[in-house]
Amino acid sequence: MTRHARNCTAGAVYTYNEKKRDAAESGYGTNAQRLGKDSVKSFDCCSLTLQPCRNPVITKQGYLFDKEAILQYIVTKKNEYSRKLKEFERLRRVEEEEITQEANCKQQARMERFVNSEKPTTTPAHKSSLVEQPLPSTPSTSAAAIAASETGSISNMANGNQSKLPAFWLPSECPNAGAAKAKKPDPTIYCPVSSQPLKVKDLIDVKFTPIKDGDAKKSLIAKEVRYMCPITHDALSNAVPCAVLRPTGDVVTLECVDKLIRKDMIHPLTDRKLKEKDIIPLQRGGTGYSTTNDKLSAKEQRPMLQV
């Protein structure tokens, strides 16, 4: 029999190519794919809207946002905190009322026990002769059995009980259901990307320098290369590591920072003295499951095909 390479069906070994082919056709095995350019956020796009920023601002961790989007996010989180705080206060008042009611019930029970203990346990002298009272007859059947004998049904939904007994699958009717515990909400607003505390005063305005290519007919958003370093005039892209200078918000390349700025720690455009915290590395594009220039492959976990 001649050999047919991958289409050989007379082999005694289940080859790697056959396994990969069968896995692709049957839906088994891990599906791996390298991310393309469309799956990676551009360095000048907002981390929330994924669109080019009109009024870019940056956090202390180096994540870029559109000012309108991040302010709307902060306002939404503050409104959510106010709603949770009102709910917390309501639950706390309910708990206080329950505790007060329980304390009152215990106090009333103690008073009743005290009053009952002070009552005389012996009969008066003129009624010394005790009259033996007949004991009440013990019922031989329970109330449920009596009701069942009267109606002819042993269902707990009979005799109008269906209006009193709600559906058993309701969470409020489960055996372990109880009053919600009051938990004070956290007033801190966290960055949606880095999960670090975020404040409006920590947002730094960013200034991109448009590239000078002489093409005035094409809009800035339509250009593939839109910005450049204001010092070295190098084009900025996802492949070029960038940094933001805090005093002015200018976006420069890290190469410019390492070779020019870090020597004297002076801003080349304004001659202002810089500190190490004034140089903020700009976090470049990345999706929720990958990091630019580090891990550009996505995997989908599926059932394995075992042989």
If you write DSSP's letter for every residue of 134-178 in order, what string do you get? PPPPPPSS-HHHHHHHHHS---TTTTTGGGTS--TT-GGGSTT--
Question: Considering only CA atoms, which of 200, 209, 244 is closest in space to residue 228?
Answer: 209
Q: Does residue 251 carry a pLDDT above 50? A: yes
Taking the CA atoms of the chain, what radius of gyration do you get in angstroms? 38
Mean pLDDT of the residues in the chain: 77
Range name among 46-55, 72-81, 290-299 with the lowest pLDDT average: 290-299
Identify the residue with better confidence: 201 or 220: 201
Give the residue carrying structure tokens 């700025």. Answer: 261
Q: Is 201 helix (H, G, I), strand (E, B) or coil?
A: helix
Going by C-alpha positions, the residue among 73, 66, 47, 74 that lies closest to residue 205 is 66
Can you give the pLDDT at residue 141?
47
What residue type is assigned to position 77 of the chain? K
What is the separation of C-alpha 121 from the centre of its chain, rounded to a whole number of angstroms? 66
Q: Is the pLDDT of residue 132 over 70?
A: no
Q: Which amino acid is at 142?
A: S
Q: What is the pLDDT, as a whole number, of residue 290?
A: 42
Which amino acid is residue 121, in one-letter code? Answer: T
Query: pLDDT band at residue 203, thresholds of 50, 70 and 90?
Result: very high
The pLDDT-based confidence of 140 (bands split at 50, 70, 90) is very low
Q: What is the pTM of this model?
A: 0.62
Q: How far apart are CA 260 and CA 59, in angstroms?
A: 24
User: What integer is the mean pLDDT of 168-175?
Assistant: 63
> What share of the chain in percent tops pLDDT 90?
29
